[in-house]
């Protein structure tokens, strides 16, 4: 069998479809992983990397004394499968294969993924032939060439990728751990530091500092409006910017009619067609259409995988001679852009344009086949159109402009106007994405006099440098050699997700800035691009086999050790510094009660709340959901009413939960419960809010003196309010207990959630465990609970509800457990049976049972069951044993159900006794008949 290993499932399928040449492709699924077979060939797709490197076990404890962060630099690493199902399927197939072709993406990352597959294959089939197919587009032509000219895996290229992986792991893990521990941050709140990430963040921080340090300067400009043949023309003073207002004013005042045309210069300008797309210029062009860098790459990869465009990760801006431009044009004639393609074919320039960089791996990004909007969707089609039109533009002639510059003079002051007219639109015909704005001036004649309609003196200010947009940042990273064409957009996405930068354009957050500024002071080599550039050149050397991977890693380890010398010496300072700077990011504004500062506080064990800086003098606080629902952070928005920053809960992989203004949130979420206080009047409600009392709990916890003083009400009213609040609080507690109970038992499924069921139950009047314990399965089903769940919930609700009731009555926990497991659940059950029976059932001593029965009966306000003297019991037992079929064990059972003699057995309900004893109804009825018969005989005998 010939096994072909592709980088992803979708490319495995495409490859099979193309190489199968119309043969039937059989798709098989093995543990959820697809393979595609035709004839003797099978293709399988990986999921990118199917193994990852990690440290050998022992390094996972951050606070280990033995393994300090520095120890990660020299820690040994191992490869661990991350996609077990794919790995085992790949090895299963490899055992049967006699040839394996690695067909992963054609770049460093793809070569490394290929090498990982190679190692997995060789591990189970050491002799199998393994070759490599390289192609830049998943099209029939590229694939048939690649598969008929297979080569060897490029181990040097893969080694370069491996070196980068190891170094990134070591730098990232060691530094992140060190900085986070120094700043005492853990869990979801760690401070990550990375080899490429940190220098990139530094650029954003530096730009922000430039903007802050920028002092705007005033300048003045003069413009003059004139008119020719009914058309208004704007001219500008040739001096440009005036830095002195007086000077500008003078020039303005001297400008007097007439305005005379002194010179007209005409010329032509060549407007070169754009060069082919590499990854960076593609991202920049896509950004103009509104696509983020990450989105642009995702769509491009999709288009590549489906054979619509060539591989989008490339540094090349020169079409290689081997690229069949005519063939591509012919193919894309069948796209919706036939008109543009045919125009380009008819007007083709002699040689396609070329950019500055030429590399041997991939050609520049170009279309690979026809696509339609219906087939690929709106966004993908816009990207496809961009790539296609760019390709056409690189084959189209240059554009020609006619330029015109007119000089005027008025009162000795010189003015000028410029115009431009597109003589030959050239490439603009097929590429509308770059603006070509014409400015057509009326025909002027030298010496002619014109009217002055207006002379304006405008005061302006110099502007600070602009913040980076994502695409601008990617360009800058490329210039500085930071990251690769494949990773740059991912690095930026990481900075955003780690809350180091925010907004469009990008600006650093307080944390992002604190980390960078602190590193800058104490270990600046980590944030300078030099170190990363050095590594990139080392990687190049590995690719060219002039250096080994081990050698490069060793050098990197030494660099990092030097950084740690500096870092460890300053650990305390770095930690204090970062904490000092980031404390502010949790501040929300003024405390409404005392004027101190309220801030988000994160405690150990995921609890978080908003508290006042003047605690314990001021106890104002606002509760927040546990951090497992999202880590609370401050946002930029400010509540106009309370002047407090908004709060947001962020959780990895989930949509953020916006709380908004914490105080507004506090007020609205407590409105309902405050309204439940019977003695709460409208007047009182607004009064308590004005005095910054927001919750029922605060009222319930206050003393009458405090409340009376704070709200300026009578002691009686305060007393009433507090006691009412206490009951409401109790009710709220019971409701939340019921919600928690249900939430833990109702598994969310598609189309239903515990919230939905809770609302439905509320509508049915069930908000507390009491209600739940007294309802039935049918009601629960109505609320959306399944049959099986309903039984379970009812039983557990009863146990929990009555368990609490019995506990409140005074039954100690140890005995309670015994009663509950013996099925004695409700208080009523304590009065239905004799204490002796209870004692036997639950295994609690008779004296203790008696005490418990006393407690329960007092609680229920029921008479205590009469104690039956031993003698009487013995007499009853004898009576019962005299009945046919009643044995000692039957007597025992009957006793437990409260049946002590023939009289009680006769008058009892057969069904009830059967249920309580496990004896069949028929048998009980037989006993009763026998007793009755005996009784009748006795009467007759009399």
Residue ranges in contact with Zn ion by CB under 5 A: 591, 593-594, 596, 612, 614, 618, 620, 639, 641-642, 661, 663-664
Mention every residue, 6+ apart, whose C-beta is less than 8 A from residue 48: 7, 8, 109, 113
From the list 85, 114, 87, 112, the residue with the least C-alpha distance to 4 is 114
Q: Which is nearer to Zn ion, 524 or 637 (CB)?
A: 637
- Do the Cβ atoms of 801 and 860 come closer than 8 Å? no
Work out how close the CB of 67 gets to Zn ion at its nearest, in angstroms, rounded to a whole number: 43
Token pair of 646, please? 């908004």
Cα separation, 518 vs 528, whole angstroms: 13
Work out how close the CB of 669 gets to Zn ion at its nearest, in angstroms, rounded to a whole number: 12
- Do the Cβ atoms of 309 and 137 come closer than 8 Å? yes
Cα separation, 588 vs 599, whole angstroms: 5
Q: Which is nearer to Zn ion, 320 or 596 (CB)?
A: 596
Phi, psi of 832 (to 5 degrees): -80, -25
Q: Which is nearer to Zn ion, 593 or 684 (CB)?
A: 593
Token pair of 815, please? 């005995």
Confirm whether 311 is a catalytic residue: yes
Q: Which is nearer to Zn ion, 553 or 661 (CB)?
A: 661
Active-site pick, 36, 304, 311, 801: 311
Work out how close the CB of 698 gets to Zn ion at its nearest, in angstroms, rounded to a whole number: 13
Work out how close the CB of 644 gets to Zn ion at its nearest, in angstroms, rounded to a whole number: 6
Work out how close the CB of 509 gets to Zn ion at its nearest, in angstroms, rounded to a whole number: 23
Cα separation, 836 vs 701, whole angstroms: 45
Cα separation, 506 vs 492, whole angstroms: 10
| b/e sequence 59-80, b meaning 16+ C-beta within 10 Å | beeeeeeebbbbebbebebebe
Work out how close the CB of 629 gets to Zn ion at its nearest, in angstroms, rounded to a whole number: 21
Element spanning 935, H or E? helix 921-941
Q: Which is nearer to Zn ion, 497 or 668 (CB)?
A: 668
From the list 9, 97, 90, the residue with the least C-alpha distance to 51 is 90
Measured at the alpha carbon of residue 209, what is the angle toward residues 204 and 215, in degrees to the nearest 5?
135
Work out how close the CB of 695 gets to Zn ion at its nearest, in angstroms, rounded to a whole number: 15
- Do the Cβ atoms of 439 and 418 come closer than 8 Å? yes
Q: Which is nearer to Zn ion, 595 or 748 (CB)?
A: 595
Cis upstream peptide for 241 (omega within 30°): no
Work out how close the CB of 651 gets to Zn ion at its nearest, in angstroms, rounded to a whole number: 24
Q: DSSP code of 242?
A: B
Mention every residue, 6+ apart, whose C-beta is less than 8 A from residue 61: 67
Q: Which is nearer to Zn ion, 461 or 640 (CB)?
A: 640
Beta bridge partners of 35: 28, 44
Q: What is the 3 state secondary structure string of 254-321?
A: HCCCCEEEEEEEEEEEEECCCCCECHHHHHHHHHHCCCCHHHHHHHHHHHHHCCCECCCCCCCCCCCC
Q: Which is nearer to Zn ion, 422 or 593 (CB)?
A: 593
Cα separation, 762 vs 779, whole angstroms: 12
Cα separation, 365 vs 137, whole angstroms: 10
Q: Which is nearer to Zn ion, 430 or 661 (CB)?
A: 661
Q: Which is nearer to Zn ion, 561 or 691 (CB)?
A: 691
Work out how close the CB of 614 gets to Zn ion at its nearest, in angstroms, rounded to a whole number: 5
Cα separation, 536 vs 156, whole angstroms: 14
Longest CA–CA separation in the chain, Å: 155
Cα separation, 178 vs 190, whole angstroms: 10
Work out how close the CB of 641 gets to Zn ion at its nearest, in angstroms, rounded to a whole number: 5
- Residues acting as catalytic residues: 311
């Amino acid at each position: 069998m010939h096994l072909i290993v592709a980088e992803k499932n979708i490319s495995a399928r495409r490859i099979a479809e193309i190489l199968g040449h119309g043969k039937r492709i059989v798709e098989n699924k093995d543990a959820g992983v697809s393979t595609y077979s035709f004839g003797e060939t099978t293709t399988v797709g990986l999921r990118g990397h199917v193994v990852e490197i990690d440290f050998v076990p022992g390094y996972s404890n951050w606070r280990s004394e033995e393994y300090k962060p520095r120890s990660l630099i020299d820690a040994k690493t191992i490869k661990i499968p991350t996609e077990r199902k794919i790995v085992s399927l790949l090895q299963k197939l490899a055992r049967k294969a006699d040839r394996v072709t690695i067909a992963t993406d054609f770049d460093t990352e793809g070569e490394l993924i290929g090498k990982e597959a190679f190692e997995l294959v060789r591990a189970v089939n050491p002799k199998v032939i393994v070759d490599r197919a390289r192609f830049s587009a998943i099209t029939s032509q590229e694939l048939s060439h690649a598969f008929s000219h297979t080569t060897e895996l490029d181990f040097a290229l893969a080694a370069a990728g491996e070196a980068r992986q190891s170094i990134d792991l070591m730098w990232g893990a060691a530094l992140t751990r060190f900085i986070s521990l120094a700043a005492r941050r853990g869990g979801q709140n760690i401070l990550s530091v990375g080899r490429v990430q940190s220098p990139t963040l530094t650029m954003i921080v530096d730009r922000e500092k430039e903007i802050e340090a920028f002092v705007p300067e005033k300048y003045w400009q003069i413009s003059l409006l004139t008119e020719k043949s009914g058309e208004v023309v704007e001219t500008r003073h040739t001096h440009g910017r005036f830095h002195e207002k007086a000077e500008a004013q003078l020039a303005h005042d001297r400008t007097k009619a007439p305005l005379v045309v002194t010179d007209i210069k005409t010329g032509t300008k060549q407007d070169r067609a754009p060069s082919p797309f590499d990854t960076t210029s593609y991202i920049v062009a896509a950004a103009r259409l509104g696509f983020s860098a990450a989105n642009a790459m995702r769509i491009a990869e999709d288009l590549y995988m489906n054979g619509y465009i060539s591989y989008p990760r490339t540094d090349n801006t020169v079409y290689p001679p081997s690229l069949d431009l005519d063939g591509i044009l012919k193919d894309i004639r069948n796209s919706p852009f036939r008109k543009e393609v045919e125009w380009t074919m008819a007007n083709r320039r002699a040689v396609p344009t070329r950019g500055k960089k030429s590399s041997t791996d991939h050609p520049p990004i170009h279309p690979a086949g026809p696509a339609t909007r219906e087939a690929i969707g709106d966004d993908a089609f816009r990207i496809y159109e961009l790539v296609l039109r760019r390709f056409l533009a690189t084959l189209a002639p240059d554009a020609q402009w006619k330029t015109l510059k007119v000089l005027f003079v008025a009162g000795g002051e010189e003015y000028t106007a410029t115009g431009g007219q597109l003589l030959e639109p050239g490439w603009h015909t097929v590429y509308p994405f770059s603006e070509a704005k014409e400015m057509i001036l009326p025909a002027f004649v030298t010496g002619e006099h014109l009217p002055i309609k207006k002379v304006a003196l405008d005061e302006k200010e110099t502007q600070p440098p602009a913040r980076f947009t994502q695409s601008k940042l990617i360009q800058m990273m490329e210039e500085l050699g930071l990251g690769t064409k494949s990773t740059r957009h991912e690095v930026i996405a990481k900075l955003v997700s780690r809350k180091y930068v925010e907004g469009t354009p990008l600006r650093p957050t307080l944390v992002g800035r604190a980390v960078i500024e602190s590193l800058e002071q104490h270990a600046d080599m980590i944030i300078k691009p030099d170190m990363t550039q050095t590594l990139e050149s080392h990687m190049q050397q590995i690719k060219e086999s002039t250096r080994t991977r081990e050698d490069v890693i060793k050098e990197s380890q030494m660099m990092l050790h030097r950084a740690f010398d500096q870092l460890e010496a300053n650990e305390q300072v770095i930690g204090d510094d970062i904490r000092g700077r980031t404390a502010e990011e949790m501040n929300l504004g003024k405390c409404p009660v005392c004027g101190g500062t309220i801030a988000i506080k994160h405690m150990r064990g995921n609890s978080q709340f908003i508290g006042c800086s003047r605690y314990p003098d001021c106890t104002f606080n606002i509760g927040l959901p546990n951090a497992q629902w999202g880590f609370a952070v401050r946002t930029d928005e400010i509540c106009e009413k309370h002047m407090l920053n908004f709060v947001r809960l962020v959780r990895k992989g989930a949509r953020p939960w916006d709380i908004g203004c914490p105080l507004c949130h506090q007020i609205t979420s407590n409105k309902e419960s405050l309204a439940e206080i019977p003695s709460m009047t409208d007047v009182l409600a607004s009064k308590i809010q004005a005095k910054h009392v927001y919750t029922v709990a605060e009222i319930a916890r206050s003393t009458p003196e405090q409340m009376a003083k704070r709200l300026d009400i009578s002691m009686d009213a305060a007393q009433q309010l507090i006691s009412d609040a206490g009951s409401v609080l109790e009710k709220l507690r019971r409701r939340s207990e019921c919600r928690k109970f249900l939430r833990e038992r109702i598994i969310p499924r598609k189309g239903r959630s515990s919230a939905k069921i809770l609302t439905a139950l509320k509508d049915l009047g069930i908000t507390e465990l009491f209600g739940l314990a007294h309802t039935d399965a049918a009601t629960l089903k109505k609320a959306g609970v399944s049959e099986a769940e309903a039984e379970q919930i009812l039983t557990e609700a009863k146990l929990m509800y009555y368990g609490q009731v019995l506990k409140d009555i005074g039954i100690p926990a140890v005995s309670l457990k015994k009663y509950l497991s013996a099925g004695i659940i409700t208080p009523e059950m304590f009065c239905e049976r004799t204490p002796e029976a209870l004692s036997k059932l639950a295994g609690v001593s008779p004296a203790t049972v008696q005490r418990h029965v006393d407690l329960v009966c007092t609680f229920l306000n029921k008479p205590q069951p009469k104690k039956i003297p031993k003698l009487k019991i013995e007499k009853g037992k004898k009576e019962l044993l005299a009945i046919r079929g009643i044995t000692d064990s039957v007597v025992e059972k009957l006793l437990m159900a409260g049946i002590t003699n023939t009289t009680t057995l006769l008058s009892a309900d057969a069904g009830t006794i059967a249920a309580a004893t496990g004896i069949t109804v028929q048998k009980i009825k037989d006993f009763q008949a026998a007793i009755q018969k005996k009784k009748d005989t006795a009467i007759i005998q009399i």
